[in-house]
Structure 1
Amino acid sequence: MSRFRTLMPLLPGLLCLAGCTTHHAPSFALMGAYFPSWMLCGSVGILIAIGARFLFIALGLDALLSLRLFTYVSLGVSAALLVWLIWFGA
């Protein structure tokens, strides 16, 4: 009974860790290491936002934008979410 009392303070922490599993973690293998999928989707979103900026500058549309930062961040987030939806499903 005394052993149970000494382990009782650890019970809340152990219960919080009970849901932490990697059984269905969305990750992919890249050169032998597992990376989270959100990192890939975020990187693709950043690259698409940078590409859109270069395209808008080349077309002369960048000067017409009043909220450039908001526009490019929105394009990047939208692209990242679209990659997530297409590649990993809903």
Structure 2
Amino acid sequence: MPPGSTIHSRRAVCMACAASLLLQGCAVSPSIAVVGAYFPGWLFCIVAGVVLAILTFLALKRVSHDRLLGPPALVYPTLVTFFSLIAWLIFFQH
């Protein structure tokens, strides 16, 4: 065995173990059956995030507080992301 090969083989074993641990998240696919077709769960979470952001916009517009948030091009995509991630945590937490 050439010198240093044990270091490379240990590193390869450690990388293989790390890869197998990271792939454990791929064991269950969060899919939702809708009329016989399976859709990914993140798609529904994004739709929920967009709907909740629109409802937030309408509620703030109704009470005239929509100008207090800042630039809408930055705030509303952030709200969509926030609501989508919250929906993911609520509905797909295993």
TM-score between the two structures when normalised by the length of structure 2? 0.66
From 56, 59, 66, the counterpart of 2:63: 59
Runs of 4+ aligned structure 1 residues displaced above 4 Å come to none
Describe the SS at the equivalent of 1:28: strand
Q: Which runs of 5+ in 1 are unaligned?
A: 1-18
**Partner residue in 2 for 1:83:** 87
Q: Which runs of 5+ in 2 are unaligned?
A: 1-22
User: Size of the alignment, in residue pairs?
Assistant: 70
What amino acid does structure 2 have at the position aligned with 1:51? L
What RMSD, in angstroms, separates the aligned Cα atoms of the two structures? 1.9
Describe the SS at the equivalent of 2:32: strand
Counterpart-to-counterpart distance in 2, 1:41 and 1:64: 27
Change beyond 3 A, Cα 1:39–1:32: same
Q: Percent identity?
A: 33
